[in-house]
Structure 1
């Protein structure tokens, strides 16, 4: 198995029918995606754990539901149990469409019916990758903000928390039993460390991470 390219849009394709795997892989590769093909869902969790780039690069999984060893729905449960947030697209035949619809309601990003329409396959793949990209950006933003919050002294953090909750400088001073000028100093330092321009930014930060 080749290593992931961190600049690619990565797609894991899982189907126990080699012809379907080859067809999906050929189409999505020509469409510009980097494909990783599996004949079973059993080894997918281990693969993702070994190649953690999947957790930092826009990626998704296209998986048939009815397979021996592990079904698509069982893979969905395993991904959730392991807290692996790679979007899943389920594929089904007409016979188990209601079962896959249940998986869709439980968090699958989309589900497709065989025989596959390649245009719908590409649309679902792009939808899943866009969703994952948004997730990754949100996670990255939270990580950056958390690192900035860690720079605050305990007192700066207390002041920032109260200000974000709507307290005035005077209210903060009375609440913490400190001088008003001390509140202003801590507020100024906290805003600078958080790279926040004012109250609006501070409120937004408090909604994303714990102050």
Structure 2
């Protein structure tokens, strides 16, 4: 996995520079953005976490969080603000923020929050990668295999599937063998678990 990056979004140029230098000295790679819109324009977005100011001209920190959640971003967000209130902190944490820190931020506290965010990102990235691999295996099934797969995961027996699809039990068994091989699984229970992960169960 590539190096994790701290994406620091704050409209205060001097603060952004100072905190970036501090984090750089602590061994972190930091990318700076003067606004949420600048961040959203980033094409080559590295993994890691987001260090985000609440009150900014244009897109606020809370609005950016809502936007990223709608896009299913897996980058954890650490809010850092000089004008935070309890209601805002509760709202952002409920929406999935990793932490909510008040300026001036203690270096040790900030680094600890970043480490937690990085670990959360790595875990989410592993889960996302596994999910994509699973979806790719399902996509490799032929149309007929996919029909059999959809019925197998509902618990139907070979004879019932054969009757439903107008084929012989032997053909159903052949399709099931191919499905198990392509999905790289050994049992119906594993197929059902995969379908559940991909939300294919009705």
Q: Which stretches in structure 2 are left out of the alignment for 5+ residues?
A: none
Q: Which stretches in structure 1 are left out of the alignment for 5+ residues?
A: 1-5
Find out whether 1:133 has 2:128 as its counterpart.
no
Query: Which residue number corresponds to residue 3 of structure 1?
Result: none
Q: Could you tell me how far 1:187 is from its partner in structure 2?
A: 0.4
Question: CA–CA distance in 2 between the matches of 1:193 and 1:71?
Answer: 46
Structure 2 length-normalised TM: 0.84
The count of aligned residue pairs is 200
Query: Which residue number corresponds to residue 22 of structure 1?
Result: 17
Contact 2:52 2:61 in 1 (8 A): yes
Find out whether 1:9 has 2:17 as its counterpart.
no
- Given the superposition, is the C-alpha separation of residues 116 and 87 from structure 1 closer, same or farther in structure 2, using an over 3 Å criterion? same
Alpha-carbon displacement from aligned partner over 1:9-55 (angstroms, at most 9, x marks no partner): 111112333443234323332333210123333311112xx114x3x
Find out whether 1:103 has 2:92 as its counterpart.
yes
Query: Which residue number corresponds to residue 198 of structure 1?
Result: 187
RMSD: 2.4
Structure 1 length-normalised TM: 0.81
Find out whether 1:178 has 2:167 as its counterpart.
yes
Find out whether 1:150 has 2:139 as its counterpart.
yes
Match of 2:146, SS? helix
Contact 2:54 2:84 in 1 (8 A): no
